[in-house]
């Protein structure tokens, strides 16, 4: 029976289905990587032609051969294992294709470059294409979080510390917290991309000696051909730029994971304060028909759990030997590709979650009420502390809270039944004690500050915090 196993629209391998997105899987595919390496060779010939080193006919022949190249991926992988780098079999394959048309032009393939120039520059070219993919999903996510924060600026909910109920906050402030961390991570990532998108071109030992005194001229022309910056010097054994990018991805993915953790906990049925978007085959169970699983959060958390190990793997290989390392830069492609793809999956997963998130305002209020006021013990303590001192007030509220929980009584009723407190807590103070809107501190202002710091005020002038 035909199972429809082949789907040209889905380049993601099944084992990677919770590790990447379709666009990023296509970007880091074998064909895409080979093409990036061929693009380097074509640009190199063009740059050297512009510098008068390679004859124009040779550059044209190289470009035409690369355009129609149909290299055997399986054979390349096998030869890479023997050569120690994919650049050698790819350059060899391109040279043979050029030779069919012109033996003279074939002699100018890879002129003055070394294998690592090809592999590093190809990776950078892929990273250049990866950045707008990541940024598009992060932009979606930030817009959705700004909207959630504005819409729920005054929606009260339980604060939770050490997984226990705590004084109230607003969902708007919570969303603004997610937004702030993700925005900072995005800006950090943008800066690291800017620093990383530089050409690698140094020849055998990073001096471009094979090009004599024309090396820097060729490097600048090559960088222009590829649309990359020309660094001050080759970076064969200096991996700090890539390391900073990988680390920035780790931090950003951690921020996405924190958001996913919060939402998945708030989505537990016994909490029930938010819900991921639902749909056909989304979040179902193979055995429990009633379940609505937080699958978007699961994908983001899988990435947040996976990325730190890959970041550590990359960092562990930074101590490279002399001008060209052995066995360290050789391991970078899978690590960098894995980190970028996991970051991308976490971003797109949480963008989808945020865009379709359902917020149960009534349940948030009900969960506050279910505490019978004990979350306002701090408030009562601060009122009493003005009269009795903090230590004594703390002891009284600790005892009152225990009674409230043990006897299922409201905290204000327990306090009202303590005659020694009548002189210190008025009936009006007790009546207002458990009103969450009156114990938010500067939550409204903090929310607004957070969203402004993230680039906008989602309230759009509505509900502005005024200072007298």
C-beta of residue 61 within 8 angstroms of C-beta of residue 100: no
Closest among 268, 271, 292 to 281, alpha carbons compared: 292
Q: Which of 103, 233, 285, 316 is catalytic?
A: 285
Q: Would you give the DSSP letter of residue 417?
A: T
CA dist., res. 130 & res. 135, Å (int): 9
CA dist., res. 351 & res. 354, Å (int): 5
**Strands 164-170, 156-161: parallel, antiparallel or unpaired by DSSP?**
antiparallel
- Cβ atoms within 10 Å, residue 428: 8
User: How many Cα atoms sit within 13 Å of 386 on the Cβ side?
Assistant: 8
Instruction: Please state whether 432 falls in left (phi above 0), alpha (psi between -120 and 50) or beta.
Output: alpha
Q: Which residues make Cβ contacts (< 8 Å) with residue 127, sequence separation at least 6?
A: 193, 196, 197, 245, 336, 340
C-beta of residue 41 within 8 angstroms of C-beta of residue 115: no
Q: 119: which 2 tokens? A: 């592999």
Q: Is 285 a catalytic residue?
A: yes
Q: Which residues make Cβ contacts (< 8 Å) with residue 414, sequence separation at least 6?
A: 400, 403, 404, 407
CA dist., res. 237 & res. 329, Å (int): 8
Query: Which H/E stretch holds residue 208?
Result: none
Q: 147: which 2 tokens? A: 């909207």
CA dist., res. 466 & res. 446, Å (int): 13
Q: Is 184 exposed, middle or buried (0-12, 13-18, 19+ CB in 10 A)?
A: middle
Closest among 391, 393, 414, 392 to 402, alpha carbons compared: 414
User: How many helices and strands, by DSSP H and E, does the chain display?
Assistant: 18, 4
Q: Which of 160, 261, 324, 365 is catalytic?
A: 324
- Cβ atoms within 10 Å, residue 75: 11
Alpha carbon separation from 237 to 118, 208, 234 (Å, rounded) = 14, 15, 9
Q: Which residues are catalytic?
A: 285, 324
């Amino acid at each position: 029976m035909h199972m429809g196993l082949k789907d040209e629209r889905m380049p993601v391998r099944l084992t990677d289905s919770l590790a990447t997105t379709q666009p990023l899987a296509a970007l880091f595919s074998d064909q895409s990587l080979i093409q990036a390496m061929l693009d380097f060779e074509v640009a190199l010939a063009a740059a050297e032609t512009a510098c008068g080193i390679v004859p124009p006919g040779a550059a044209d022949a190289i470009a035409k051969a690369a355009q129609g190249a149909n290299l055997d991926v399986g054979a390349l992988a096998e030869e890479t294992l023997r050569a120690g780098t994919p650049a050698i079999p790819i350059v060899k394959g391109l040279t043979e294709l050029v030779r069919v048309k012109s033996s003279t032009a074939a002699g100018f393939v890879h002129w003055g470059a070394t294998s690592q120039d090809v592999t590093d520059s190809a990776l950078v070219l892929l990273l250049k294409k990866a950045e707008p993919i990541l940024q598009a999903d992060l932009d979606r996510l930030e817009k959705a979080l700004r909207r959630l924060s504005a819409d729920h600026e005054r929606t009260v909910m339980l604060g939770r510390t050490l997984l226990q109920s705590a004084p109230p906050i607003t969902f708007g402030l919570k969303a603004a917290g997610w937004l702030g961390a993700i925005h900072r991570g995005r800006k950090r990532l943008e800066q690291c991309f800017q620093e990383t998108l530089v050409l690698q071109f140094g020849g055998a030992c990073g001096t471009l000696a094979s090009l004599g005194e024309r090396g820097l001229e060729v490097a600048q022309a090559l960088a222009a051909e590829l649309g990359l910056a020309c660094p001050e010097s080759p970076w064969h054994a200096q991996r700090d730029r890539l390391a900073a990018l990988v680390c920035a991805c780790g931090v950003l993915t951690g921020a996405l994971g924190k958001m996913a953790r919060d939402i998945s906990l708030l989505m537990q049925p016994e909490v029930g304060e938010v819900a991921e978007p639902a749909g056909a085959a989304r979040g179902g169970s193979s055995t429990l028909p009633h379940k609505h699983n937080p699958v978007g959060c699961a994908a983001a958390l899988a990435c947040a759990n996976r990325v730190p190990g890959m970041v550590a793997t990359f960092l562990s290989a930074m101590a490279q030997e002399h001008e060209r390392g052995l066995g360290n830069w050789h391991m970078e492609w899978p690590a960098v590709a894995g980190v970028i793809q996991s970051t991308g999956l976490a971003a797109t997963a949480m963008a989808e979650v945020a865009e379709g998130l359902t917020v149960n305002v009534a349940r948030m209020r009900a969960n506050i009420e279910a505490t019978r006021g004990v979350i306002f013990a701090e408030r009562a303590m601060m009122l009493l502390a003005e009269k009795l001192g903090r230590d004594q007030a703390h002891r009284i509220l600790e005892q009152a809270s225990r009674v409230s929980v043990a006897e299922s009584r409201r905290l204000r009723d327990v306090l009202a039944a303590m005659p020694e407190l009548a002189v210190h807590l008025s009936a009006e103070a007790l009546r207002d004690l458990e009103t969450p809107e009156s114990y938010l501190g500067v939550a409204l202002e903090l929310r607004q500050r957070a969203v402004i710091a993230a680039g906008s005020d989602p309230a759009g002038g509505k509900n502005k915090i005024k200072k007298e």
